[in-house]
Structure 1
């Protein structure tokens, strides 16, 4: 069975804010772990309902990950990972959230007491892109028709885009 290596180069880092659900990877672990925001419940990003994408901060230390954490730990002779985060680095220092934390960025790294300094990297920031009506309005019709010939982006605002379409052979 081929082993998957999870890495992200610094060139791929773009300064996105990190939020609940971000994927992190420890260089001593066997699997990525999902980041949990445990220090605040007020500030959200990329979440129109304001209920899922809490902004992570440099105060999210201790065990801010969803079990089973990073799988097996090479530093602990491949026993199950039990991370203890002691500090975050390379966070966004120009903004302070109401609880005193500075937001994490996708280039932020953290130190585990069991591992080494900066042994954990963020491999996916947790935000998700979504198309809006503005995207459809700006879509170039000829390009879009090549990518998805079944949908006309200019007709998305129509009340019934499927009017006249016979799906059941009726």
Structure 2
């Protein structure tokens, strides 16, 4: 597989036909058993090609340039009809194939591949397991960080 992240709940998408570029968050509704980038396995389900219909948080990308009217462009009403560019080699328990950051979606107005992914939704986070790790090995991997004092506040990253 090429370097491509899985899409998860919260991935940001954008329509090519939006009057002003706006993003909306993908909401995974087609499955609730498989998670990525989520230590607890409850907040970030993996998106699949089965996530069609009204699967965006706001279900709009603003005004749609393909729907002109006498008062300006009509508001977009996002309804995903299909996904392309998904990972073919893995099928999840819902029969869906995993969406990637290179995947694209289509809608009834904009046609195929009019919706692109702007952000896959995954965020890097350090697991708590690092506290049990050998400081010498960690120093080999991260030579600029002193892991001998894991209680040192300067190592903490505030959210």
1:112 positional shift: 0.8
SS in structure 1 at match of 2:123: coil
| 1:80/1:156 CA distance change after superposition, 3 Å | farther
Whether the 8 Å contact between 1:34 and 1:69 is mirrored in structure 2 is: no
* Residue 154 in structure 1 maps to residue 147 in structure 2: yes
**Contact 1:23 / 1:124 at 8 angstroms: preserved in 2?**
yes
Q: What's the counterpart of residue 48 of structure 1?
A: 39
CA 1:102–1:76: 2 relative to 1, 3 Å: same
2:12–2:118 contact (8 Å) kept in structure 1: yes
Equivalent residues of 1:84, 1:114 under 8 A apart: no
Match of 2:142 in 1: 139
Shift of 1:81: 1.3
1:108 aligns with 2:103: yes
Q: Is the 8 A contact 1:75 1:114 kept in 2?
A: yes
Q: What displacement does 1:116 show?
A: 2.3
1:82 aligned onto 2:88 = no
Q: 1:63 aligns with which of 49, 54, 57?
A: 54
- Runs of 4 or more, structure 1, over 4 Å off, are none
What number of residue pairs does the alignment pair up?
Answer: 138
SS at structure 1 position matched to 2:112 = coil
Post-superposition shift, 1:113? 0.5
Q: Is the 8 A contact 2:59 2:79 kept in 1?
A: no
CA RMSD of aligned residues (A): 2.0
Unaligned runs of 5+ in 1: 1-12, 142-151, 163-170
Structure 2 length-normalised TM: 0.79
Change (3 A) 1:113 1:49: same
* Structure with the higher fraction of residues in strand conformation: 2
Which residue is 1:26 aligned to? 15
Q: Look up the match of 2:27.
A: 36
Tell me the TM-score normalized by structure 1. Answer: 0.74
